[in-house]
Structure 1
Amino acid sequence: MSSSYVEDPAPGHGSLRPRAYFRSDARSLDLGGDWRFLLSPNIPSAPEGIEYPEFDDSGWTDLPVPAHWQLHGHGKPAYTNVNYPFPVDPPRVPSDNPTGDYRRRFTLDGDWLTQPAVLRFDGIDSCARIWLNGNELGVTKGSRLPSEFEVGPLLRAGENLLVVRVHQWSAASYLEDQDMWWLSGIFRAVTLLARPAGGIPDYWIHADYDHRTGRGTLSVDTDPAVRLSIPELDLHDHPATQPISFAAVDPWSAEEPRLYQGELATDTERVQVRIGFRTVSIEDGQVKVNGRRVFFRGVNRHEHHPDHGRAVPLDTARADVELMKQHNINAVRTSHYPPDPAFLALCDEYGLWVIDECDLETHGFGKFDWDRNPGDDPQWSDAYLDRMRRMVERDKNHPSIILWSLGNEGHTGANFARMAQWTRDRDPGRPIHYEGDLDCAYVDVYSRMYAHTQEVDRIGRGEVDNPRHRELPFLLCEYAHAMGNGPGGLLEYRELFERHPRCQGGFIWEWIDHGIRRHTPDGREYFAYGGDFGETIHDGNFVIDGLLFPDRTPSPGLTELAKIYEPVRITATTDGLRIENHHDHTTLSHLTFHWTLETEGTQVAQGELPVPTLHSGQSIDLPLPELPATQGETWLTIHATLATDTPWAKAGHLIAWGQLPITPATPPVRTGAVRILHAPTELRLGLGGFDPHTGTLTSLGGHRVTGPRVDLWRATTDNDRGEHHPDATAWREAGLHRVQHRVAQIHPGDTELLVRTRVAPPGLAFGLLADYLWTADTDSLRLRLDLAPDGEWPCTLPRLGLRLAIPGAFDRVRWFGGGPGEAYADSRQAARIGLHTATVDELQTPYVFPQENGNRIDVRWAELSTVDGQVLRIEGLPTFDLTARRWTTEALEAARHTTDLTPTDQIHLNLDLAQHGLGTNSCGPGVLPQYRLHPRKAALELVFRI
């Protein structure tokens, strides 16, 4: 059996002309389920004659379809970001080419033989040869794209045999070097479709909207015999190819996804259609929909499930869309391939702007300065155009799609230009995107990845040399790399997008961590990443870079993004508050505004806030509501919530919020100093017991403690370890992970204990002078820590504060300050001042690759308690940052998976003045200057009560 097709750079053969994806009332048969399966290590060892009914597959195993064979015990997943996992020698692939053979028997009645039929494959990775009843149908390439084959004459009444041979590697693999797991097999639906004579072969609905008049214009490219009905518009059996206008229609937008239910029909077939009237244009250097500028509050979405890989179930895709809407996301880039068509239908239904991206990336050639890159090689031209054509034709009827993307990280060349020209000719109603066209020679928007804020500002100001860059809309197709703890610095991007009309937002990289669910021998769950399957070439946990954890639990990064992406802004003015409508199209009529007043985190009053109609882009200043007098620190919080149920959230779902300080905190009153008591083995000062030789606190209210000691280190984050001038490298070179503490002086006074120390790394001349001044009242122990740099520091600091270990029984936490989730210097917009509670375990953020997490900011006071009611209270003068966990920073730093973390019998606290920002240096820009933590004179004051 010849396998020359495997290394042929041309697209497959035998398939029908691409057409729109649709289902009709014609018969269909889902061929999913268990197939017989055999994996061979290479093509020569694959059995001959598998296409024939008499072939004996009794020794094979069962494999579900859709699925990837590596996730069912056949071979292993492998992750690379840029590198090809095989020698780069296009179009040739390794001889060790795993080949999976599939066989499926199915039964048909005689009615199937009375009409044409089509066999549809929605996705096979990477190359497949297909037979039906011993007859070869053809070869398909383009893993995330559909192929259809005419099979009517080959069908039989009774038993039929479908056979598919799938090769893991093929010439097509060079075009599919996306940043994701290499996973193989039939991973999308396989369907047998009856195609009745006189039916609907294809259709393209053009539904335009005139925002000046409200008029909708509709036409359909299809067979002249097709009729169109839209009962809501009083249209019945209208010739579909005859254009028609409606004096007034409701337009479709991501905010109000109005879909009209219609039907296309012939005498033999009916197709239910959903029509969204909308017009996309580029005017004044801006992408506009229905005449209004669009602000893309977007994410990049790979298809991923921790158990099923890219075979994502429909309910999971729906959960994705609902989570996006719930977190104020309005746009998706389908990185880096067309998704399952069901996802696009959900985008139409729920309302998301979509950049639909072609299944094309050749990133690995970048290592060789793009030598032999297929993008400018004529022998690959047909494959490039074939992929674009199949995507556009499949997805053309989705109103949610407002831009086509030619692919990702494939450099440039004549093949891209040809794709762009074909697409522009075929569909002039949608602009073309491709970040790789840096000169913008054949695209309609200027797109970049990970441009830092200073550059975005220059682009917005038009301070660029290329005139195309000055006149086109600007998008960040990827920004704010959401890997591990982060991303930081989102606020500054939003401010630029709102300041410069041509800078129309962007798409966070990315939606979800691509972890694969695994268990330790004793049954504990964790998520695997690159290298965990024994790959010789891999990119580690770079595939763990999403706003969702693999099980689709939202990360703190998604919570922060929801706050940044709020379409309503609520801020304080000199004598009141301001409400701003940042929606693209809608008023605020779908929202209800209410307020709560809290003193020390306890609610003392609440009420509704009347807000008049505000159109998109409008704002209004309102007086404060009538508030009662309060004593103690008081905050007013305004909430904007859904007034009624939506398909993606219930009434009352929080869309936006803002906080205003009303009454400042009351300064604490001291109850009178107590004297130091000297004993042979310790110094006693109020609640505290101290080592007389080191001045270290050893007990607090009778409980053994360790510390507090100055702490400069944090378990490094993915962004700390990032690829561009990583902060973690500088910190380690400066020895900040192994500082030593020298006691310079212990001075017990009458009512105070002064301990002077120097904190410094070994072998180096710089350090930090740290003075601990302890005093006590009758009911409290007080510490003032004064810090000053000594010598010339070469770098920033990871953190600046204290480390303290207390008994493990104090595992319940209640605090007044920022929360409820973690926050950092450049990722703190989602933190609300209030009263919060959690267990120590609940304070942890289970990043797939463990790292610094769990910091709570602006803590006024925190109480750690035991199950029997003992309470340790820590107060800040005025505030501190709090981290509490059951393991040390060193254990957290050493861990590579969550299952590596073993609880100790202590609670390890960090009581910080500050931490270094997060940034997005795992792939994007580092920490902005204003969030970098430099050594400086500083003081931290704390009060301990027990």
Structure 2
Amino acid sequence: MDTRPAHDGHPYEEDRSPGHGTLPARVWYAASDAARLSLNGTWAFRLSDTAEGTGTAFTEDTADLSDWARVRVPGHWVLQGHGAPAYTNIVYPIPVDPPRVPTENPTGDHRLDFDLPGDWPQDGETLLRFEGVDSCARVWLNGHELGWFTGSRLPHEFAVGHLLRPRGNVLAVRVHQWSAGSYLEDQDMWWLPGIFRDVTLLHRPDGAPCDFFVHAGYDHLTGRGTLRVACDVAGRILVPELGLDVRVGEETSAPVEPWSAESPRLYHGELITAGERVPLRIGFRTVRVENGVFTANGRRILFRGVNRHEFHPETGRAVDLETMRRDVLLMKRHNINAVRTSHYPPHPAFLDLCDELGLWVIDEADLETHGFCYFPDWRGNPVADERWTPALIDRARRMVERDKNHPSVVIWSLGNECGAGQGLSAMAAWIRERDPSRPLHYENDYSYRDSDFYSRMYAPHDEVEAIGRGEEQPLEDPEADARRRSLPLLLVEYAHAMGNGPGGLADYQRLFETYERCQGGFVWEWIDHGLPKRTADGRPYYAYGGDFGEDVHDGNFVCDGLLFPDRSPSPGLIEYKKVIEPVRITGDSAAGTITVTNRHDFSALDHLSFTWAFEVEGEETATGTLAVPSLDPGTSAVVPLPDPPHARAGEAVWTIRAGLRADTPWAPRGHLVAWAQLPARPRPLPERPAVLLPPLAEAGNIHLGPAVFHATTGELRSLNGLDLRQGPRLDVWRAPTDNDLGGPWLGDARLAMRWRKLGLHRLQHRVDSISTADRALTVRTRVAPAATDLGLYAAYHWSADDERLLLTVTVTPDGEWPVPLPRLGLLLGLPASCDHATWYGGGPGEAYPDTRAASRLGRYSMNVDDMQTPYVRPQENGARPDVRWAELCAAGGPGLRVTAGDAPFWFTARRWSDVQLDAARHTTDLEPGDTVWVHLDRSVQGIGTESCGPGPLPQYRLTVAPTTFSLVLTAPGAN
């Protein structure tokens, strides 16, 4: 007989309450001397189409499981061959009729048969703990129903000691993909049901604590820490390093080193009670918002943060400890100091790592109701419906009680994108009463009545600057306006890292460092959520929304991270590391000095060593060390450079590096923290040939020095024996980036749509004249899209000596152009054998006008294939800036060298055309052809972050204007 609890006439999975039969929320800790038994492993599994399943006989000892499948726990059944994942950003993939869910409700019955260890204690109590189940679970042990719960990314416990037996225990769990709780979990991610976090049996001896709260504050004026541990049973607190031995509940004080993200000092202590000894890791720190600024230990903090969803490409949100540690190490090594746990509390072990290695954490409740935004006044929104308030408070309580002893957690967040409502206020009131030591955050209620921060998402630069100046647009309510003006600004999401980008990071950072009220932000987001798939012929690629047959989905919007799905850094992460580096190095080469500024919040510079290198034409000629004083945070020093070493002629730069002086827990000695380059000698411009050769017409061709041109079209056909697939001609198109495509809410204003409407992807070229005079070949053309009278006049002026071909291109706009151009330069095609590139210019990775902070002048060499950035959805990529010269060669064969004339150029080379790149949905759609396509651009359009934010700033837009640029084409190795 089905004994499901029923409320309001609905089955339990449609109940608005948080659950039934679970124990009160309490603290989490990784270890103690009490017994514990992991129930992770391989479980029996059966998938049904509806919540009714096939009855509850599977909970009985004698159930026949012979035809059941097996799944890993922790895990998601849709990633183990049962059903399929689905991705939506905002919309619910089920009809919005809270708290009801469809009858077609994939339901996974899980069963584990297990024995207790022979030494399992018989006294006290035993708890069955689930760290996370998506989205609703009903639990039986040995045929007895324990209860049910929602709150997917939160812990739930049952008392089971009276039901356990030494052998043959049967744990049965029914998991529904859809439940009333799903309406609270619309969090811009894959919908992935299952038991995806740990399942554990915890012995609770008589006299063991149920819960305890470590209060460890720090007074920056006295340098003393204050410790008090509240506990529900009597006991003692030992902290040997501090010589402390005090009773539970007793407050004591001692001189301490404070905890911060830069210096994560933890004191190892122990809570000793009659039944259990619990190790403690105590970090003394005090955080507050005072005088409109968020401070830690008395200092203003600048967040250099990221938003982090839990994700692994193979296991979804079932993330193992090694992967969590890898995430934290990558963050630390890229100068990131803060993480927002978007949009739910992470696995608790992640917070242990943040405590240990040092990250500021905004811990966010498991709450988002974004899909209700499509209805007038957010009709039906649970946070504005008091019937949901118990579930909301339960989610706040389970987060706070679990994570309250982590020093890394400095801010509680009520959730994400839920509009406004009294349910949020109820959550805030409960948290403030339980833990007044931490500020609260919430972004989506613009009265900020429940938030200690003026929190914004994707605010454009000018708005951030206005807020920094205190000149933001006032609210109608003077009292609310005054309150908001008293709050620090936090960009809880900014710089949408989707595809190629994000652009404008350096401009945001300048504002954060200029205005005290602007306390940084959190890039969206940490990692691309691509799931692995294979083509019919077995080639691997990463899939996104729509690739699993979803009717409703949001495409590749799930791939918007600073890491690719395999956790390799994207160019965006390399850029972010440079932009947020905690040491600023500027210089005056004429004066022979550099200025070093310490941008750390707490640390002096003793942990860094500084070196210099003198580089000529990209080659290091001399190196040495710099004596930089131990600067306090916020201070600067002028440091002399050595006399420039004697070196060969050519352009020269100083490269200054700051690296770790010694090994740290997060990076080895020598790890690069910050760097800068300063000009030492300017680039000499190419010399004009003393003797120019005349063009000669012969058999339908025009010969000019080492080059052969088509007599009718004026197209360059060969140079120094290298036959070109396509001669250089004006090009303005690029395969749109995700930021060019823009958010769908922008409609026809999206830049890529405007480009396509104008026809920039299908330019036509007309030759107006070909003339040979004054020892030169001049080809005049008009380049224009169909169906418009707009165009670009392009004149190619060629001259040559015996080895070199000189080209000057003059571009004159025809008409009033309403949009910036994607690029402006030359496109040419080389044989596929010319696949090895060497260049002197910016690198090693790609860069664009507003993503070039991390580009370093040097000499680089790599295969054309390695110059591509493998964005999950293919798009424009791979440009190298500030290129003085570039060579493309075949192994042992001919090639081409291009040298900049009056100004450096942007260099891109790939094995497929922009048309192919534009048409591709996945990397496997890109098939190499018989041509290496080379872009030599005078200018390119910036990137911006308009996939979910502002577009490129005006200074990074490629406005149509008269332009002239020049290049020199020779054989490889020539000057």
C-alpha distance in 2 between matches for 1:367 and 1:111: 54
C-alpha distance in 2 between matches for 1:656 and 1:377: 50
In the TM superposition, residue 2 of structure 1 has moved relative to its aligned partner by 5.2
Question: What's the counterpart of residue 730 of structure 2?
Answer: 710
Q: For 1:918, which of 939, 943, 955 is the aligned residue?
A: 943
Q: For 2:741, which of 702, 721, 725 is the aligned residue?
A: 721
Once the two structures are superposed, the pairs formed by residues 324-363 of structure 1 within 5 Å of their partners are 324-363=331-370
Question: What's the counterpart of residue 8 of structure 2?
Answer: none
In the TM superposition, residue 469 of structure 1 has moved relative to its aligned partner by 2.1
Once the two structures are superposed, the pairs formed by residues 677-826 of structure 1 within 5 Å of their partners are 677-705=696-724, 706-723=726-743, 724=746, 725-749=749-773, 751-826=775-850
Q: For 2:912, which of 859, 865, 887 is the aligned residue?
A: 887
Q: For 1:305, which of 312, 325, 330 is the aligned residue?
A: 312
In the TM superposition, residue 795 of structure 1 has moved relative to its aligned partner by 1.3
C-alpha distance in 2 between matches for 1:873 and 1:527: 36
Do residues 616 (structure 1) and 640 (structure 2) align?
A: no
Task: Describe the superposition over 1:288-323 as per-residue Cα deviations: whole angstroms up to 9, x where unpaired.
Answer: 000000000000000001010000111011000000
AA in 1 matched with 2:414: L
Question: What's the counterpart of residue 849 of structure 1?
Answer: 873
Task: Describe the superposition over 1:863-913 as per-residue Cα deviations: whole angstroms up to 9, x where unpaired.
Answer: 112221644211011311000000001000000000000001211000001
Q: For 1:638, which of 656, 661, 680 is the aligned residue?
A: 656
C-alpha distance in 1 between matches for 2:773 and 2:63: 94
Indicate if the aligned counterparts of 2:209 and 2:233 stay in contact, CA closer than 8 A. no
Worse-matched range after superposition: 491-500 or 383-392: 491-500
Q: For 2:682, which of 654, 659, 664 is the aligned residue?
A: 664
Indicate if the aligned counterparts of 1:122 and 1:190 stay in contact, CA closer than 8 A. yes
Report % sequence identity: 57
Question: What SS does the corresponding residue of 1:25 show, helix, strand or coil?
Answer: coil
Indicate if the aligned counterparts of 1:43 and 1:97 stay in contact, CA closer than 8 A. yes
C-alpha distance in 1 between matches for 2:450 and 2:927: 55
Question: What's the counterpart of residue 205 of structure 1?
Answer: 214
Question: What SS does the corresponding residue of 2:609 show, helix, strand or coil?
Answer: strand
In the TM superposition, residue 480 of structure 1 has moved relative to its aligned partner by 0.5
C-alpha distance in 2 between matches for 1:489 and 1:386: 40
Question: What SS does the corresponding residue of 2:169 show, helix, strand or coil?
Answer: strand
Once the two structures are superposed, the pairs formed by residues 414-453 of structure 1 within 5 Å of their partners are 414-453=422-461
Question: What's the counterpart of residue 598 of structure 1?
Answer: 615
AA in 2 matched with 1:82: I
Question: What's the counterpart of residue 177 of structure 1?
Answer: 186
Question: What's the counterpart of residue 469 of structure 2?
Answer: 461
Instruction: Extract unaligned runs of 5+ from structure 1.
Output: none
C-alpha distance in 2 between matches for 1:276 and 1:242: 18
In the TM superposition, residue 224 of structure 1 has moved relative to its aligned partner by 4.5
Question: What SS does the corresponding residue of 1:85 show, helix, strand or coil?
Answer: coil
Task: Describe the superposition over 1:469-508 as per-residue Cα deviations: whole angstroms up to 9, x where unpaired.
Answer: 2111110000000000000011111111111101100000
Question: What's the counterpart of residue 193 of structure 1?
Answer: 202
Question: What SS does the corresponding residue of 1:833 show, helix, strand or coil?
Answer: strand
Indicate if the aligned counterparts of 1:734 and 1:794 stay in contact, CA closer than 8 A. no
Do residues 119 (structure 1) and 128 (structure 2) align?
A: yes
Q: For 2:517, which of 496, 502, 518 is the aligned residue?
A: 502
C-alpha distance in 1 between matches for 2:3 and 2:90: 31
Question: What's the counterpart of residue 87 of structure 2?
Answer: 79
Indicate if the aligned counterparts of 2:497 and 2:524 stay in contact, CA closer than 8 A. yes
AA in 2 matched with 1:718: D
AA in 2 matched with 1:620: A
AA in 1 matched with 2:295: K
Question: What's the counterpart of residue 550 of structure 1?
Answer: 565
Question: What's the counterpart of residue 96 of structure 1?
Answer: 104
In the TM superposition, residue 16 of structure 1 has moved relative to its aligned partner by 0.8
AA in 2 matched with 1:167: H
Worse-matched range after superposition: 881-890 or 665-674: 665-674
Once the two structures are superposed, the pairs formed by residues 568-579 of structure 1 within 5 Å of their partners are 568-573=583-588, 575=591, 576-579=593-596
Do residues 392 (structure 1) and 400 (structure 2) align?
A: yes
Task: Describe the superposition over 1:189-229 as per-residue Cα deviations: whole angstroms up to 9, x where unpaired.
Answer: 00001101111221111111111110011000113522111
Question: What's the counterpart of residue 295 of structure 2?
Answer: 288
Indicate if the aligned counterparts of 2:335 and 2:582 stay in contact, CA closer than 8 A. yes
AA in 2 matched with 1:307: E
Question: What SS does the corresponding residue of 1:152 show, helix, strand or coil?
Answer: coil
AA in 2 matched with 1:624: L
CA-based RMSD = 1.1
C-alpha distance in 2 between matches for 1:447 and 1:863: 49
Q: For 1:472, which of 478, 481, 487 is the aligned residue?
A: 487
Do residues 533 (structure 1) and 548 (structure 2) align?
A: yes
AA in 2 matched with 1:495: R
Do residues 675 (structure 1) and 713 (structure 2) align?
A: no
C-alpha distance in 2 between matches for 1:118 and 1:769: 78
Do residues 59 (structure 1) and 79 (structure 2) align?
A: no
C-alpha distance in 2 between matches for 1:323 and 1:281: 28
Question: What SS does the corresponding residue of 2:94 show, helix, strand or coil?
Answer: coil
AA in 2 matched with 1:684: H
AA in 2 matched with 1:216: G
AA in 2 matched with 1:527: Y
Instruction: Extract unaligned runs of 5+ from structure 2.
Output: 5-10, 475-480
Indicate if the aligned counterparts of 2:721 and 2:894 stay in contact, CA closer than 8 A. no
Task: Describe the superposition over 1:111-144 as per-residue Cα deviations: whole angstroms up to 9, x where unpaired.
Answer: 4433310000000000000000011111111000
Q: For 1:931, which of 956, 959, 966 is the aligned residue?
A: 956
Once the two structures are superposed, the pairs formed by residues 825-836 of structure 1 within 5 Å of their partners are 825-836=849-860
Question: What's the counterpart of residue 477 of structure 2?
Answer: none
Once the two structures are superposed, the pairs formed by residues 480-495 of structure 1 within 5 Å of their partners are 480-495=495-510
AA in 2 matched with 1:815: W
In the TM superposition, residue 562 of structure 1 has moved relative to its aligned partner by 0.3
Indicate if the aligned counterparts of 1:113 and 1:155 stay in contact, CA closer than 8 A. no
AA in 1 matched with 2:220: H
C-alpha distance in 2 between matches for 1:218 and 1:82: 44
Paired residue total: 944
Question: What's the counterpart of residue 578 of structure 2?
Answer: 563
Question: What SS does the corresponding residue of 2:466 show, helix, strand or coil?
Answer: helix
Worse-matched range after superposition: 932-941 or 167-176: 932-941
Task: Describe the superposition over 1:72-94 as per-residue Cα deviations: whole angstroms up to 9, x where unpaired.
Answer: 11110000000000100011000
Indicate if the aligned counterparts of 1:80 and 1:539 stay in contact, CA closer than 8 A. yes
C-alpha distance in 2 between matches for 1:44 and 1:177: 24
Question: What SS does the corresponding residue of 2:105 show, helix, strand or coil?
Answer: coil
C-alpha distance in 2 between matches for 1:687 and 1:115: 92
Indicate if the aligned counterparts of 1:484 and 1:545 stay in contact, CA closer than 8 A. yes
Question: What SS does the corresponding residue of 2:740 show, helix, strand or coil?
Answer: coil
Indicate if the aligned counterparts of 1:113 and 1:156 stay in contact, CA closer than 8 A. no
Indicate if the aligned counterparts of 1:450 and 1:478 stay in contact, CA closer than 8 A. yes
In the TM superposition, residue 43 of structure 1 has moved relative to its aligned partner by 2.1
Question: What SS does the corresponding residue of 1:97 show, helix, strand or coil?
Answer: strand
Q: For 2:147, which of 138, 145, 151 is the aligned residue?
A: 138
In the TM superposition, residue 592 of structure 1 has moved relative to its aligned partner by 0.4
C-alpha distance in 1 between matches for 2:52 and 2:388: 26
Task: Describe the superposition over 1:714-769 as per-residue Cα deviations: whole angstroms up to 9, x where unpaired.
Answer: 00000000023211011111110001000000002252100000001111101000
In the TM superposition, residue 185 of structure 1 has moved relative to its aligned partner by 0.6
In the TM superposition, residue 458 of structure 1 has moved relative to its aligned partner by 1.0
TM-score, scaled to structure 1? 0.99
C-alpha distance in 1 between matches for 2:15 and 2:186: 17
Task: Describe the superposition over 1:255-299 as per-residue Cα deviations: whole angstroms up to 9, x where unpaired.
Answer: 000011111112331111111000001112110000000000000
Do residues 234 (structure 1) and 243 (structure 2) align?
A: yes
In the TM superposition, residue 388 of structure 1 has moved relative to its aligned partner by 0.2
Question: What SS does the corresponding residue of 2:20 show, helix, strand or coil?
Answer: coil
